[in-house]
């Protein structure tokens, strides 16, 4: 059986991205590997062993083209409304909270926010299959 261990995104500024993921989602650096042309930073928290790998290519100055293939990263939280307000207060400009209820039954409650490099992140209320 395979186990998912991390997902990787390319970011321009290590410090800015690490601060965002620490402030927004409580992720901290589990390991940092520095190489000649790039740096890898693995972020995680006590909630699980899955990690976010930030790749910083040295010398890169232009934003990455995220294209139309990237979807989003998702986090679930205990109190969606409180997190939404916290994100607003931090200046992260979260989009409005959505109650996804096709057919009248709520399947998910969430909002989206972008990280400093423009990656979409879904923040979901812990419920049902999202816990």
Give the domains, in start order, of the chain with CATH numbers.
Answer: 1-59 (3.10.180.10), 70-131 (3.10.180.10)
So which residues are the catalytic ones?
122
CA–CA gap between residue 129 and residue 61 (Å, rounded): 40
| pTM listed for this prediction | 0.88
SS3 (DSSP) at 41:
strand
Render 55-95 in DSSP notation, one character per residue. EEETT--SPP--TTT---EEEEES-HHHHHHHHHHTT--PP
Residue 5 per-residue DSSP state: -
Paired residues of 110 in beta bridges: 98, 124
pLDDT tens, residue order, the chain (131 aa): 868 899 999 999 999 999 999 999 999 999 999 999 999 999 999 988 899 999 999 999 999 998 888 889 999 999 999 999 999 999 999 999 999 988 888 889 999 999 999 999 999 999 888 87
Q: Are 17 and 115 in contact (CB under 8 A)?
A: yes
């Amino acid at each position: 059986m395979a186990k998912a261990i991390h997902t990787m995104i390319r970011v321009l500024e290590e410090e800015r991205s690490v601060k965002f993921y620490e402030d927004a989602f409580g992720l901290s650096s589990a390991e940092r590997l520095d190489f000649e042309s790039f740096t890898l930073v693995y972020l995680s928290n006590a909630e699980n062993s899955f990690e976010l790998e930030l790749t910083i290519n040295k010398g890169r100055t232009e934003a990455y083209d995220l294209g139309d293939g990237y979807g989003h990263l998702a986090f679930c939280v205990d109190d969606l409304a409180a997190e939404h307000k916290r994100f607003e207060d931090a200046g992260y400009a979260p989009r409005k909270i959505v109650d996804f209820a096709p057919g009248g039954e709520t399947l998910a409650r969430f909002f989206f926010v972008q990280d400093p490099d423009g990656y979409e992140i879904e923040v979901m209320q812990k419920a049902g299959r999202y816990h």
